Amino acid sequence: MADRPFIIGIAGGSGSGKTFFLKCFLEHFTADEVCLVSQDDYYHTVAAGMTKEEIALYNFDLPRTVDSEQFIADINKLINNETVYKEEYTFNNLDIVPKILEFKPAPILIVEGLFIFHFKEIAEKLDLKIFIEAEEQVALSRRLKRDLEERGYSHDDVMYRWKNHVMPAYREFLLPYRDECHQIIINNTQNADKIISVTEVISKELREKLFGA
């Protein structure tokens, strides 16, 4: 392993297809070759003392809702070849007993999340910045499908968050960094083959660069 991992930052708005992109990308590497650290594991816990109604209205789409100091500290530990142990974030569900997550150093470190380009101490460490985007109506359609079918939210709840939390945060804390990224991936279709082929190209170039194969 090199003295310092190759660090990739992957960001995209809600409904951009970032999760599927990451899934496809990781399939090109072994567990020993890559470590993934997600911003989602670093949100401050706010459920204690709040009602379900208060939690429903709480705006998680702001940088201050993330424990950025711990996020940055753990990234630095991985860069310094130290294993990180972190309590799982349970999305404010008090009925779930959190697991302990283990992040092991690897030649490739992937950092993903909405604010990773906005957090300067993270952005300046990134060797490759990937921006994944989709047209607003496409992204909203995906968000509705996920939240209505998988999470049981009401249509009004989803639309309230989209208009008042999701899109304002995207425009303020992610979109301004789009043109600074090394690669911009447009994902407006449901064609999985396109994303799969993109990850094949990127992973092949990366493997040749880092491993010579």
The Cα angle at residue 77 between residues 73 and 82, in degrees rounded to 5: 155
Tokens for 191, please give them. Answer: 């064609």
Angle between helices 18-26 and 192-211 in degrees, nearest 10: 50
Q: Over the stretch 22-80, which tens digit does the pLDDT of each residue have? A: 999 999 999 999 999 999 999 987 755 677 777 777 898 999 999 999 999 999 999 99
Number of domains, the chain? 1
Residue 135 lies inside a defined structural domain of this protein? yes
Asked if residue 137 is part of any domain, the answer here is: yes
Task: Tell whether 128 is covered by a domain.
Answer: yes
pTM of the model: 0.91
Q: For residue 14, tell me if it sits in a domain.
A: yes
Q: Which residues, listed in sequence order, are joined to residue 131 by a DSSP beta bridge?
A: 11, 184
Q: List the pLDDT tens digit at each of the 213 positions of the chain.
A: 458 999 999 999 999 999 999 999 999 999 999 999 999 999 987 755 677 777 777 898 999 999 999 999 999 999 999 999 998 887 666 677 788 999 999 999 999 999 999 999 999 999 999 999 999 999 999 999 988 887 778 899 899 999 999 999 999 999 999 999 999 999 998 888 989 999 999 999 999 999 886
188 lies in which domain range?
A: 6-206
On whether residue 144 sits in a domain, the answer given is yes
Return the CATH number at 36: 3.40.50.300
In a domain, 196, yes or no: yes
Assess if residue 212 is contained within a domain: no
Whether residue 78 lies inside any domain: the answer is yes
